[in-house]
Amino acid sequence: MTAVTQTAPLTHEREFNISWVDAGPFLALAALLLIGFIINPDFLSVTNLSNVITRSAFIAIIAVGATFVISSGGLDLSVGSMAAFITGVTIMFMNMMAPDFGTWSIPAGMAFALVVGLACGLVNGAIVTVGKIEPFIATLGTMGIFRALITYMSDGGTIPIDRSLRDAYRPVYFGTVAGIPIPILISLAVAAIGAVVLYKMKYGRRCAATGANEDVARYSGISVVRTRTIAYVIQGACVAIAAICYVPRLGAATPTTGQLWELQVITAVVIGGTTLRGGKGRIWGTVAGAVILELIANLMVLSDFVSEYLVAAVQGVIIIIAMLIQRFSK
Amino acid sequence: MTAVTQTAPLTHEREFNISWVDAGPFLALAALLLIGFIINPDFLSVTNLSNVITRSAFIAIIAVGATFVISSGGLDLSVGSMAAFITGVTIMFMNMMAPDFGTWSIPAGMAFALVVGLACGLVNGAIVTVGKIEPFIATLGTMGIFRALITYMSDGGTIPIDRSLRDAYRPVYFGTVAGIPIPILISLAVAAIGAVVLYKMKYGRRCAATGANEDVARYSGISVVRTRTIAYVIQGACVAIAAICYVPRLGAATPTTGQLWELQVITAVVIGGTTLRGGKGRIWGTVAGAVILELIANLMVLSDFVSEYLVAAVQGVIIIIAMLIQRFSK
Amino acid sequence: MPGDERRISANVVLRAEGLSKQFGPVTVLSDVTLDIVAGEIHAIIGENGAGKSTLMRLLAGYADPTAGDLFLDGAPVRFANPHQAQDAGIVLVHQEILLADGLTVAENLFLGRELTRNGIVDDRTMKRIAAAKLAELGCRISPNALVRDIALADRQLVQIARALLDARRLVIFDEPTAVLTDEEVHRLLDIILLLKEQGIAVLYISHRLEEVQRLADKVTVLRDGRMVGTYPGQTLSQMEMAHLMVGRELAALYPPKKAVPSGEPILAVRNATVAGFAEDVSFSVRRGEILGFAGMIGAGRTELFEGLIGLRHAVGEVELNGKPIAIRSQQQAIAAGIGYLTEDRKGKGLLLQERLAPNLTLSALRTFHPGLYLRSRREAAALDEAVSSYDIRLKSLKVRAGQLSGGNQQKLLLAKVLLTDPSVVIIDEPTRGIDIANKAQIYAFIQDLVAEGRACIVISSEMQELIGICDRIIVMRRGRVSGEVSGDEMTENNIAFLATSDAAAEPAAWQPERSLQGGR
Amino acid sequence: ADKKVVAVSIPAADHGWTAGVVYHAQAAAKELNAAFPDIDVVVKTSPSASAQVSALEDLSASRKLDALVILPYTSEELTAPVKAVKDAGTFITVVDRGLNDPSIQDLYVAGDNIAVGRNTAKFLVEKLGGKGNLVVLRGIPTVIDDERIEGFQDGIKGSDLKILDIQYANWNSDDAFKLMQDYLAKYPQIDAVWANDDDMLLGVLEAIKQSGRTDIKFALGGNGMKEIIKKVIDGDAMTPVETPYPPSMIKTAVYLTVAHLVGHAPARGTVKLDAPLITKENAQEYYFPDSPF
Ligand SMILES: Nc1ncnc2c1ncn2[C@@H]1O[C@H](COP(=O)(O)OP(=O)(O)OP(=O)(O)O)[C@@H](O)[C@H]1O
Ligand SMILES: Nc1ncnc2c1ncn2[C@@H]1O[C@H](COP(=O)(O)OP(=O)(O)OP(=O)(O)O)[C@@H](O)[C@H]1O
Ligand SMILES: O[C@@H]1[C@@H](O)[C@H](O)OC[C@H]1O
Ligand SMILES: [Mg+2]
Ligand SMILES: [Mg+2]
């Protein structure tokens, strides 16, 4: 019997290397800020950044919801038209209340928006889970439905908010608290709540487990139907919150409101590091992803060397590069 | 006590017992035809059906390619803008050749279109497989890129085909052989070839294995990168074929050519019974799916009870119902 | 003899009466009656496909019987789902690993029953309990590790720990030891005895009959879905158990050894390193030789060979038939004539949703179907041939691979790899979860394939089987070759010494394998 | 001295007409930047109303704008943001799609959408002898579209022209092709078709040609696309007239705005481009074969 003597042991990497995976989107964000600054120093001005981040709030808020849906193994293509629909019915509701209740109709309308959002989410969730229809198709269907409803309700035109409510409502988008724009605060709050639910509550665990492996979840006594439906309901609530912030910005709902938001939302989630296959979601990455998207658009406006025809191409290239940074920082 | 006696010897029952799963989309199609006839008997007129099926040819051809991509575990959102891009460069190429080569520039242009299609597919495939980027995002990026390129090349305008080529090219869309419109024949040919490749060729096995379980594929000596890249290349070829049939229809490429085709394509594939998770693809189901989509749109116009504003909603509802029929016929 | 204890004693926790289960036209279980008594270890044995797992699933609420009844403490009961069984104190450790890859060990342990404080999950406590439970089982992985990154054995231990958290009335172990090393097995058996002391009933399924003999108070034998009988544990010898299972006399488990082969080496490997798993490994194997690789789980054997055949990044020199070759992908390995049979047959070996024929030819597409097209007739013939020559037992040729029992899946996998006509066959854990009759068959197959002039490398965590079939055994410890034994030196003691001596000296530093990012 | 900045904010090229707008805006910028060294014209496109609001914020956050020329994506949503720019002291020129509050604009350059619809309708009433079956294709749900339809319905009021059907075809030739095929399948007798945009008319014409039907006497569009004007010049029987709605109006607007800034000609008020019927007689005036539109 020949024994071989052992030399240096193999090294096993430490468990706790601050995970670069999580850092990916933030690195991409930092790179973008740097590039932006080089291209146009105005880019880093407080006004500009605060504008951009404020804008990204809608997508960020909706994308927090989408992080739940995607991490539970679903997908929601209807968020953009759901946003338009909720915006529309909320404005109609507020306008209807305004003569009698004055500015009180604003909070009432907000509550109404939330209820509608929850209901829309429930519909999506039920079709996907109870109807057992591929989420892509189910929500593509409801996307058409919500969009058509708002077109119908607006008679193909716009639904503007009552002038009497305009000024009272304005601060929800344009106001600041301690210098920070309110939409930023709201989106941070939504993200923080989202993070607590996803990382610190039972529901979050179930959501991730359902997305990671449905059978395992089921065998662990988790109701896949319930978990996934709740994710869609959360998504509905987030869309409603975004809609609430959105109304004062544009003052109206139109049949084109929220068009293509679904793509931005999904992109934000994926850039943020959540995979479309489901499993663990990354709320803060999602928020970073939403900001990245808005920054890219902003950069396009601030820089002058891209032909207007090519903007979409450059955006596409940047998104792919951001994903590569994301990936190779792993 | 029932003994499990092994009576009859094991036989290779024919692979051919018509399975209900596969029948799903065809049942939905039949149901739709029936409803259509009840609503408006003109629906089943030869002209109408032949128009509608001819129209569905583009989506069907592209969707055959998408069946490969999806069954290999990928996704391609860029097909619509890729179609616009290929249409545009092909027309430009033909126009350039026309003065010297006359109508010979048409076949030359077709070959050129195919080459461009293969190249576009290769780019998508490489980004997804070599760059290891989530297909959703990668092809969302190239979607923007293709769209911007065509807009740039056309200076934002339309790119019409040279008058001298128009009439010679027209039959490719408007012509018939034995009474059957040529696009229908082409799409049947593409589907037949697709079915042979997917079901009867080695590549098809590799494709389905890769989509079903990447690890098993890798451990069986299948190159996941190559297999999936080839699927994207096939997709590119299909888009090129669709573009070739498309040119004579309107004789021009515009910035809106192919808009939202990607959604229709994916919907057709899924209605056809292929799941977005990957694994087995169903070519003929896909073709049925494409026809179903076009029939629904047609039905909306032929029927009188839907307000123009609500068309999208009704379509959404019908798609969901078609999926339910599909699902519960299993 | 069946039904020693037909009366319902006060101690009977769960009674199954006349249970049957059919899948469509196929009957997999018929008329099984069983009393499970508190504080008793009750073993269920039977060949692969006998219906053991199916029976366990019925008992634990994962499936509904087609006929028959369950009685909990004498009262009829029906579990609509596993949750209800769990509430009744009945838990099942599945034969397959059922954990969510993307979640951590602790998260998996407590999945579906997280501990909370004021609605917030109490991760600290859960991690603490998880670490403690795992330590009890001798598993030292971190509760923070992702399940995706831990070895199969550790996953099995996590799964066991998960069941033990909830063990109140009845714990069902469905082949818990198939993927464990001897040391881990010992620890588990101790724990099972502890459960028994606590008055908990245990149902125990294993193909390792020595375990059954050590543990079982009662043994129930299933054959072809029917009860052969229930017997007092200690009275049965292993041979008798095997006989009852199979229903005929069994030949010897290990085929007689042939003369030690002395041909030229087919495969020679020098200084192979797979970063993080195996370092500086050299060996060679001759035509006609069966070379064993022994070691503890985590010794890096699987990763070493995955590296050699191009599934992972590896450096080193490989010579095949005296000529140096570079293998950068599994495709090249197959083309060069090296076949590898994975240890993870469900995850990496077979397409479970696919029928048998496509599975059979998947590795051999290139050679089996020359040209572009599939030869479906040839494929069907090959399947017939594989079914008969590997004795794959199935009820229809149309079943999906996932519906075969474990032993038959393994035979299919063997057929799949051999279809590529390799000159060197590497078999990782050839008999994991395989019954004794099938084992003997698989050993005979291995013997046959070297007799045809191939070389075979067997990686196994069962020392007995290596000793039984190998001409020579290389032992690995922590990624390095720690020694080599052949002939008479091939004893459990020698191998165990080489595999563990160093590790035993410094247990704290010893971390089981973990997939490192460096790999791929 | 510092350069004066003129920002031009327009929708992205999402169909033929807007593509024409982008073309003319870029051309204007190039010419003016060359001609006036101390004027800087920057063109920015936006793919949606909210993107355009963002673009306005971005443009005014990073530099002081001396003038803004804007073709609003939608009226309602852009009104308040444009007002904010105005309040910072910027000269505002609005093009085509108006704002809800006209007091914001210093200069308004627009076509007459009502006239586009009404003049086309009047033509049909006259040529069809006040009687016949019509089908209509409309664009996307916006004010422009509404106005054209409104003008058209207004125009046929009092006659016996009957609109059999009206559906959206998204200012897209493909959708129009399909819709027209379906109209043809549905209605055995159609006397005239009106597509409220020339992109759509292209699709309509192909569908009619393919059907071989002879009942359709007129197929009309609107916008002044060069291909259609060419038909008018050539005396096409089915499309003998056209209404202009030239995307070059953006160029006019930019030129006027710059002229105002450099003090050559103070420009304020409204420039309404008429939408008279283009007929064989006057078609040459509207024909620009080199424009992309
Ligand atoms: N392992 C593999 N994974 C993915 N694609 C492969 C693989 N092997 C071959 N291909 C591709 O599949 C197609 C068919 O090749 P394949 O090698 O199977 O056919 P063949 O005629 O047997 O080829 P050869 O003569 O090279 O053996 C080719 O495009 C090839 O590039
Ligand atoms: N869903 C199913 N459909 C059809 N047949 C099935 C299904 N599940 C199991 N079977 C069949 O039932 C039989 C019993 O399987 P079971 O898994 O219970 O065997 P087992 O005794 O646990 O075998 P092993 O020792 O290999 O684990 C097998 O022949 C198997 O193929
Ligand atoms: O974009 C619109 C265009 O397509 C329509 O035809 O004319 C008015 C424009 O605003
Ligand atoms: Mg079993
Ligand atoms: Mg191993």
pLDDT, tens digit, 9 for 90 and up, residues A44-60:
888 888 888 998 999 99
pLDDT, tens digit, 9 for 90 and up, residues A268-326:
999 898 988 888 899 999 999 999 988 888 888 888 777 777 878 888 888 888 788 76
Which of C116, C144, C489 has its CB closest to that of A1? C489
Predicted local confidence at residue B21, as pLDDT: 60
Find out whether D120 and D194 touch, Cβ atoms under 8 Å: yes
Ranking A225-234, A304-313, B220-229, C270-279 by mean pLDDT, the lowest is A304-313
* Averaged pLDDT, B135-146: 92
CB-based contact (8 Å) between B148 and chain D?
no
pLDDT, tens digit, 9 for 90 and up, residues A137-155:
899 999 999 999 988 888 8
Instruction: Indicate the top mutation candidate among B226, B227, B229, B234 to test ligand 1's pocket, ranked by most ligand atoms within 8 A of CB.
Output: B226
Which one, of C201, C97, C90, C225, lies nearest residue C158 by Cα? Answer: C97
CA angle C379–C383–C387, rounded 5-degree value = 170
* Averaged pLDDT, A223-246: 95
C242 vs B187, more confident:
B187
Q: What token pair was written down for C419?
A: 């279809």
Which of A152, A267, A311 has its CB closest to that of B148? A311
Find out whether D9 and D71 touch, Cβ atoms under 8 Å: yes
Return d(Cα A304, Cα A311) in angstroms, integer. Answer: 11
Which of B47, B249, B311 has its CB closest to that of D185? B47
Predicted local confidence at residue A21, as pLDDT: 58
Determine what percent of chain C is predicted with pLDDT higher than 90.
48
Confidence (pTM): 0.87
Find out whether D49 and D80 touch, Cβ atoms under 8 Å: no
What are the Cα distances from residue D128, in Å, to D122, D125, D161? 10, 5, 8
CB-based contact (8 Å) between B149 and chain D?
no
Rg (CA), chain C: 23
pLDDT, tens digit, 9 for 90 and up, residues C321-378:
989 999 999 999 999 999 999 988 888 999 999 999 999 999 998 888 888 888 888 8
Q: Give the number of the ligand closest to the Cα of residue D17.
A: 3
Predicted local confidence at residue A329, as pLDDT: 60
Say which DSSP state C38 is in.
T
Residue B11: inside a domain: no
- Interface contact B313-A134, CB threshold 8 A: no
What are the Cα distances from residue D254, in Å, to D38, D260, D267, D289? 15, 10, 11, 22
Residue A5: inside a domain: no
Predicted local confidence at residue B6, as pLDDT: 43
Instruction: Indicate the top mutation candidate among B122, B197, B203 to test ligand 1's pocket, ranked by most ligand atoms within 8 A of CB.
Output: B203
Confidence of residue C484 (pLDDT cuts 50, 70, 90): very high
* Full pLDDT tens readout for chain D, 293 residues: 578 999 999 988 777 788 888 888 988 999 999 999 999 999 988 888 888 888 888 888 777 899 999 999 888 788 888 998 999 899 999 998 888 888 999 999 988 888 999 999 999 999 999 899 999 999 887 777 888 999 999 999 999 999 999 988 888 888 899 899 989 988 999 999 999 999 899 999 989 988 889 999 999 998 888 889 999 999 999 999 999 888 889 999 999 999 998 886 777 888 888 888 898 888 888 887 777 67
pLDDT at C6 over 50: no
- Interface contact A250-D47, CB threshold 8 A: no
CB-based contact (8 Å) between D85 and chain A?
no
- Interface contact B256-D174, CB threshold 8 A: yes
Return d(Cα A230, Cα A125) in angstroms, integer. Answer: 7
CB-based contact (8 Å) between D146 and chain B?
no
Say which DSSP state B200 is in.
I
Q: Is C407 touching ligand 2 by the criterion CB < 6 Å?
A: yes
Domain assignment of residue B252, given as a range? 28-328
- Interface contact A127-B320, CB threshold 8 A: yes
- Dihedral sign, CA of C68, C72, C75, C78? negative
Q: Give the number of the ligand closest to the Cα of residue C393.
A: 2
Residue B10: inside a domain: no
Other CB atoms within 10 A of residue C7 CB = 7
Residue B20: inside a domain: no
Helices A283-302 and A261-271 sit at what angle, rounded to 10 degrees? 120
Find out whether D161 and D125 touch, Cβ atoms under 8 Å: yes
**Is residue D3 exposed (0-12), middle (13-18) or buried (19+ Cβ within 10 Å)?**
middle
Per-window interface: C 289-328 vs B, CB < 8 A: 311
Q: Tokens 């409104």 correspond to what residue?
A: D150
Residue A139: inside a domain: yes
CATH code where residue A213 lies: 1.10.3470
Say which DSSP state C261 is in.
P
Residue B23: inside a domain: no
Tally of structural domains, chain A: 1
Which of B108-122, B276-290, C119-133 ranks highest by mean pLDDT? Answer: B108-122
pLDDT, tens digit, 9 for 90 and up, residues C191-231:
899 889 989 999 999 988 888 998 999 999 999 889 999 99
Per-window interface: C 223-262 vs B, CB < 8 A: 224-226
pLDDT at C21 over 90: yes
Calculate how far, in angstroms, residue C174's C-alpha sits from the geometric centre of ligand 4. Answer: 7
- Amino acid, res. B246: Y
CA angle A281–A283–A288, rounded 5-degree value = 125
Confidence of residue C403 (pLDDT cuts 50, 70, 90): confident
Give the contacts of D209 (CB within 8 A, at least 6 positions apart): none
Distance of CA D45 to the CA centre of its chain: 16
Which of A158, A260, A302 has its CB closest to that of D58? A302
What are phi and psi for residue D196, nearest 5 degrees? -80, 20
- Dihedral sign, CA of A130, A133, A134, A140? negative
Give the contacts of B234 (CB within 8 A, at least 6 positions apart): B65, B68, B69, B121, B197
Q: Beta strand pairing status for D107-110 and D67-70?
A: unpaired
Rg (CA), chain D: 20
Q: Dump the DSSP string for C236-287.
A: --HHHHHHHHHSS----SSPPP-PPP-S-EEEEEEEEEETTTEEEEEEEEET
**Is residue C319 exposed (0-12), middle (13-18) or buried (19+ Cβ within 10 Å)?**
middle
Confidence of residue C314 (pLDDT cuts 50, 70, 90): very high
Interface test with D, best of A308, A309, A314 (most D CBs within 10 A): A308
Find out whether B273 and B19 touch, Cβ atoms under 8 Å: no
Confidence of residue C502 (pLDDT cuts 50, 70, 90): low
Q: Is C406 touching ligand 2 by the criterion CB < 6 Å?
A: yes
Return d(Cα C281, Cα D203) in angstroms, integer. Answer: 71
Return d(Cα C205, Cα C19) in angstroms, integer. Answer: 18
Find out whether C324 and C271 touch, Cβ atoms under 8 Å: no
Judged by 3 or more CB pairs under 8 A, whether D touches C is no
Structural element, H or E, at residue C340: strand C338-341
What are phi and psi for residue A108, nearest 5 degrees? -60, -45
Other CB atoms within 10 A of residue B277 CB = 13
Structural element, H or E, at residue D40: strand D39-46
Say which DSSP state C273 is in.
E
Widest pairwise Cα distance in chain C? 72
Count Cα atoms within 13 angstroms, Cβ side, for B64: 29
- Interface contact B308-D15, CB threshold 8 A: no
Return d(Cα D87, Cα D65) in angstroms, integer. Answer: 11
Q: For ligand 2, atom 13, name the residue with the nearest CA.
A: C49
What's the complex ipTM?
A: 0.84
- Interface contact B134-A270, CB threshold 8 A: yes
pLDDT, tens digit, 9 for 90 and up, residues C100-113:
888 999 999 998 88
Other CB atoms within 10 A of residue C156 CB = 26
Question: Would you call A176 helix, strand, or coil by DSSP?
Answer: strand
For chain D, the distance separating the N- and C-terminal CA atoms, rounded to the nearest angstrom, is: 38
Confidence of residue A204 (pLDDT cuts 50, 70, 90): very high
Residue B15: inside a domain: no
Beta-bridged to residue C75, according to DSSP, are: C72
Number of residues written out for chain A: 330
Find out whether C148 and C98 touch, Cβ atoms under 8 Å: no
Q: For ligand 3, atom 4, name the residue with the nearest CA.
A: D17
Closest chain C CA to residue A328:
C517
Report the pocket of ligand 3 as residue ranges, CB < 6 Å: D 15, 17-18, 96-97, 144, 171, 197, 223, 245
Which one, of C445, C433, C453, C348, lies nearest residue C391 by Cα? Answer: C445
Q: Beta strand pairing status for B176-177 and B180-181?
A: antiparallel
Return d(Cα D140, Cα A200) in angstroms, integer. Answer: 46
* Domains of chain C (ranges, CATH numbers): 2-246 (3.40.50.300), 251-337+423-429+456-520 (3.40.50.300)
- Amino acid, res. C418: L
- Amino acid, res. B196: V
Number of inter-chain CB pairs under 8 A, A vs D: 99
pLDDT at A9 over 70: no
Number of residues written out for chain C: 520
Number of inter-chain CB pairs under 8 A, A vs C: 110
Question: Would you call D193 helix, strand, or coil by DSSP?
Answer: strand
The minimum-distance atom of ligand 2 relative to the CA of C403 is 31
Q: What token pair was written down for C121?
A: 């999950």
Residue-wise over D205-235: b if at least 16 C-beta within 10 A, else e?
bbbbebbeeeebebbbbbbbbbbbbebbbee
Predicted local confidence at residue C250, as pLDDT: 67
**Is residue A166 exposed (0-12), middle (13-18) or buried (19+ Cβ within 10 Å)?**
middle
pLDDT, tens digit, 9 for 90 and up, residues C451-483:
988 999 999 988 889 999 999 999 998 889 999
Structural element, H or E, at residue D70: strand D67-70
* Averaged pLDDT, A157-184: 88
Calculate how far, in angstroms, residue C148's C-alpha sits from the geometric centre of ligand 4. Answer: 23
Residue A19: inside a domain: no
- Interface contact C516-A12, CB threshold 8 A: yes
Q: How far is B305 from chain A (nearest CA, A)?
A: 14
Count Cα atoms within 13 angstroms, Cβ side, for D260: 22
- Dihedral sign, CA of A298, A301, A303, A308? positive
- For residues C213, C215, C221, C227, the Cα torsion angle rounded to the nearest 10 degrees is 150
Judged by 3 or more CB pairs under 8 A, whether A touches B is yes
Q: Dump the DSSP string for B128-146.
A: HHTS---HHHHHHHHHHHH
